[in-house]
Amino acid sequence: MDVGIVGLRQLESMPKRIFSGVKPTGPLHLGNYLGALRNWVELQRQYESFFCIVNLHAITIPVDPDYLSALTLEIARLYVAAGIDPEISTIFIQSDVPEHAELAWILNCSTRMSELERMTQYKEQARKQRESIGAGLFEYPVLMAADILLYQTNLVPVGEDQKQHLELTRDLAIRFNRDYGETFQVPEPYIPKVGARIMSLSDPLKKMSKSDDDPNGCVMLLDDADTVRRKFKRAVTDSGTQIKFDDSRPAITNLLTIYQLLTGKAPADVEAHFTGKGYTQLKQDLAEVTIEFLRPLQERVRGISADDLRGILEHGRNKAQGIARATLAQVMTRRGVVGASGSN
Ligand code: TYM
């Protein structure tokens, strides 16, 4: 029996799947929420959903082990506090499912060096690290492809910066299917029209990032009210006085975009709200809206006990591993990688 084809056929009549993840290299920020998590929360009721904390990706750059292990759990808590419902979505830690690393190896063997050399995120990181670039950083996008392909994922909700990695994932899936028979669902990216690239508050030409050198550029989901006020107060603005969405004025447009997404208002209503007001008012209003948004989220974080979290992550691991094992077994068979028993 051709297990792979049956697997794919069965999938056609099943609810479609989404997979996404966050790399625990720094505390979650508004960009992560507005570009990714917000959409996960919305999509989880229409799709069978898998949300991962991708800790194996985090070690591709230098990171303190104690910090990494604590942050991994903090991010899992934030998933739940942000509205991922563990009753309907699967939340798990990447290293709990070793099939991710195993599939990454197999995919590595059909990935071209030139494909990885083209990755802009690799090139940016490599520039920062110069001579100490690890091979793991180079192969990062292959592990990401493995994350996605293991779950026969249909849709991957991410911010704009992950688009190139998604294209590689699709290429690897298509190539494997062509060379070894239909095995993988070819995933589509889901990149929101608004919020896919939230910019740094201190440099509106750079994306808001966990690794921003200037801590004022990035509002963390766990920042307290005073810190949020201080960061918005220092936010860079454009010259002029108009408060309107305008691509030629990236700082104000970024602040308005954050305001729009956190209030759920239409762009015209956002502009109307700020008519006749100045930049100081914009920053103050935005700080208060952000604080009001973060308050309940932070309360929920504090309400999740260590036991509850462990239960959610163990349940998630079991659910994820069942699917990951089935895909990996098909992949190994297709490649003729069999053990002593003649099968895997
Ligand atoms: P990471 O951890 O950098 O970011 C997590 C998610 O947040 C989005 N994001 C942003 N969106 C809008 N504006 C911003 N300034 C901003 N900064 C980050 C990212 O696009 C992402 O969706 N390689 C991935 C992690 C990963 C993954 C995966 C994602 C590993 N395997 C499989 C999806 C599927 C990353 O580093 O994301």
Fold of 3-191+305-335: Rossmann fold (3.40.50)
Confidence check: pLDDT of 129 > 80: no
- 292, 297, 300, 302 alpha-carbon torsion, rounded to 10°: -90
Confidence check: pLDDT of 18 > 60: yes
Which pLDDT score is estimated for 124?
Answer: 87
Look at ligand 1, atom 11, and give the residue with the nearest C-alpha: 35
Ligand 1 centroid distance, CA of 109 (Å): 25
Which pLDDT score is estimated for 127?
Answer: 83
Confidence check: pLDDT of 4 > 80: no
Residue with tokens 């991010």: 75
CA atoms of 80 and 22, how far apart (whole Å) = 13
CA atoms of 301 and 80, how far apart (whole Å) = 8
Task: Output the pTM of the full model.
Answer: 0.95
168 CB under 6 A from ligand 1? no
Residue 13's pLDDT band (cuts 50, 70, 90): low
Confidence check: pLDDT of 9 > 70: no
51 CB under 6 A from ligand 1? no
Residue 182's pLDDT band (cuts 50, 70, 90): very high
Residue with tokens 């069978």: 48
Look at ligand 1, atom 36, and give the residue with the nearest C-alpha: 23
Which pLDDT score is estimated for 12?
Answer: 59
| DSSP code at position 259 | H
Confidence check: pLDDT of 7 > 70: no
Ligand 1 atom nearest 165 alpha carbon: 23
Confidence check: pLDDT of 11 > 70: no
Ligand 1 centroid distance, CA of 74 (Å): 16
* Ligand 1 pocket mutation, candidates 22, 99, 208, criterion most atoms within 8 A of CB: 22
Report CA torsion sign: 147, 153, 157, 163. positive
In the chain, % of residues over pLDDT 90 = 87
Residue 277's pLDDT band (cuts 50, 70, 90): very high
Among residues 262, 259, 256, which one has the least CA distance to residue 243?
256
Give the domain ranges of the chain. 3-191+305-335, 215-301
Tens-digit pLDDT profile for residues 56-106: 999 999 999 999 999 999 999 999 999 999 999 999 999 999 999 999 999
- Which homologous superfamily is 215-301 in? Tyrosyl-Transfer RNA Synthetase (1.10.240.10)
State the first-to-last Cα distance of the chain, in angstroms, to the nearest integer.
15
Residue 45's pLDDT band (cuts 50, 70, 90): very high
Ligand 1 centroid distance, CA of 88 (Å): 22
Length of the chain, in residues: 344
Give me the residues paired with residue 66 across strands.
none
32 CB under 6 A from ligand 1? yes
What's CA 227's distance to the chain center, in Å? 24
